[in-house]
Chains A and B, each alone.
Chain A
Amino acid sequence: MSATQTLASVEGTGPHRASGEQERRTKKRNRRIALALVIPGILGIGVTFLFPLVYMIRMAFNEGSGNGIVVETFTFATILDPLTDSYYWKVTFDTFLMGLVVGLLCIVVSYPIALFLSRTQSKWMGLLLAAALAPLLTSAVVRTYGWMVLLGDDGLVNSTLLGVGLIDSPIRMANSMSGVVIGLVEIFMPYAILAMMSGFGRISTQLEEAAGSLGANKAKVFFRVTFPLSLPGVLTAFLLVFVLSISTFVTPRLLGGGVVQVLATEIYDQATGLLNWPFAAALALILLVLFGAVISVYQALIKKIGG
């Protein structure tokens, strides 16, 4: 270091620099610019997201009794309330079960499309992909409405089955959990398809061809090569759909016709109907924890697959 400084001071006519000073100044200037660039974003997210979230979690430790009466305190009682109430255990359990069923059915129905889109060389690929993702452009309300029409007592499904003579009286689907499940399966298909496609992308077609050239027929190739390799993608799709299902509100509300109770609808009733904010917050906290746990697993899996 000293040799450098000596050289600089001997040769240079200008003031000699301490080593690295130029670099440090640039670094500092860059840091200031970066700070200015991110501050609006931090403020925005902080005010519209972090603050309400933290406030809500804090609210779960207050006491409430409906009608907007909130007692500012710090207690675990409000949170323990739903945890010790069998009704809410049932609601939570129903929510969880619904998530599982929707997740499973959804990946089953989405798998063929995802596989097809990953493999096809048809020139319609772009169009078909758009068709698979287009439902995401519409509101959940619109899609749920479509299912209400389809599954209603006078809806398409019942009318067809009655007309063909397969049943004598309409099957109750709308206004029940089965309708909600069917609707949710379809609504989350685009998400599952996307998740699986990114998982499938990693299965090289050469592997399948190699298996085939070794004598396996199509079915064998699928079951022994393609399917096992696709499982990580399938798993992440499942987790994604599960996590979306347990927190969804619109479809259980509409297709459930007031009969189906899940955590999301309970939160709504407590918050806007009964105006019992602490209790609603307690329920939301439970949902948040469930959601967070599964998402962490999902993130970990994504990293593993990506690696």
Chain B
Amino acid sequence: MTTVPVPFRKKFAWGGLAFKIVVTLAYLFLLAPLLIVFVISFSSNQYLSFPPKGFTLDWYKALPEQTQFIEGLQTSLLTATITTIIVLLIAVPATLALDRYDFKGKGALAGLFLSPLLVPTIVLALGLVIVLGPLGLTNTYASIVIGHIAITVPYVVRTTLMSLQTSDTSCEEAARVLGAHGGTVFWRVTLPIIRPGVIAGAVMAFIVSFDEAVISLFVAESGRPTLPVQVLRYVENSADAVVAALSVILILFSVVIVVIVERVVGLRNAL
């Protein structure tokens, strides 16, 4: 033991230059498609080629005329909203039961609500089209909502459960001692306290439903498909940048939603 210990903390900060470069490159790779879409949306090239020859806003200007995208957007907004509302109504009470009450089969039930995460989406999509087809329910808003409920329930259950588990039950007891019965306790005390978790779950459910392509493709390919399906079909056939403009708007839209929710509710507390 002849060496004097070096002041260690300073030396060991995870900031070696080589490491920083590697991390930056990794980030670039991660964000590459989004960045490129952004660039292409302003490019005056007719086709998806590089390098861009000029700057233009034409792609954006062309968007309102793309009826299929406008219709797709309407469908997606509608189905995502309805899905989120339905899922909130069925999942939040169920999660409340899972955390605050005791009954047989609680574990299995929790597993059931989280199980859609364990199944490949395409398998569920197939099952849905096989069931809904003969019933004549395909290519309807209802089919999309039905298809999206299963895959969004786990998100709401997870975030709501977290909020419930970390909340102080003595507030609910205090409310009861002060004279509130079950429903009032939930409405005026529990729900406001778990609001961040519920809202976080709702936002996730909305985004998942809005972005979902596979189930929507299987159950509602014609009629009034969702926006991701419209984009999918467009991209399979054409190679111009109007999709890029649309994508940029969608990305900004998602980011804005998340930022708003973070500000209002403090997502950090809920995630």
Contacts and interface: CB of A to CB of B under 8 A. Distances in A.
Query: Touching in the complex, A and B, CB below 8 A?
Result: yes
A271 B133 CA distance: 11
Nearest to A280: B126
Given A49-B115, A139-B211, A38 B94 contact: yes
Contact of A135 (B34, B86, B120): B34
Interface in A80-139: 109-110, 112-113, 115-116, 119-120, 126, 128, 131-132, 134-135, 137-139
Contacts of A126: 268
B90 interface: yes
A278 B217 CA distance: 19
Contact of A281 (B98, B103, B109, B126): B126
Contacts of A59: 130
B27 A45 contact: no
A213 B8 contact: yes
Q: Is the interface of A mostly helix, strand, loop or mixed?
A: helix
Interface in A234-266: 246-247, 249-250, 253-254, 264
A38 B127 contact: no
A47 B89 CA distance: 16
B19 interface: yes
Nearest to B102: A30
B218 A189 contact: no
A87 B218 CA distance: 24
Nearest to B254: A137
Contacts of A77: none
A137 to B, nearest CB: 4
A250 to B, nearest CB: 5
Nearest to A53: B127
Contacts, number: 271
Contacts of B244: 145, 149
A291 B34 contact: no
A156 B228 CA distance: 24
A49 B150 contact: yes
B213 to A, nearest CB: 5
A119 B34 CA distance: 26
B263 interface: no
B150 A141 contact: no
B23 A288 contact: no
Contacts of B140: none
Contacts of A149: 33, 36-37, 40, 48, 244
Contact of A141 (B26, B113, B235): B235
A27 B33 CA distance: 56
B269 interface: no
A268 interface: yes
Nearest to A39: B94
Contacts of B26: 109-110, 112-113
17 contacts: A41-B113, A44-B153, A45-B149, A49-B149, A113-B26, A116-B23, A135-B31, A137-B207, A137-B254, A140-B211, A145-B33, A149-B36, A154-B49, A160-B50, A212-B12, A215-B3, A288-B123
- Please give me the 7 A-B residue pairs with the lowest Cβ-Cβ distance, nearest first: A146-B33, A247-B120, A52-B127, A41-B94, A56-B127, A154-B49, A139-B211
Interface of A: 27, 30-31, 33-35, 37-38, 40-45, 47-49, 51-56, 59, 109-110, 112-113, 115-116, 119-120, 126, 128, 131-132, 134-135, 137-150, 152, 154-156, 158-160, 183, 186, 189-190, 208-209, 212-213, 215, 218, 221, 246-247, 249-250, 253-254, 264, 267-268, 271-272, 277, 280-281, 284, 287-288, 291-292, 295
Given A56-B126, A144-B235, A186-B30, 16 more contacts: A33-B97, A38-B109, A44-B86, A48-B147, A51-B131, A56-B130, A113-B27, A142-B33, A144-B33, A150-B32, A152-B239, A156-B50, A221-B12, A254-B232, A272-B129, A291-B119
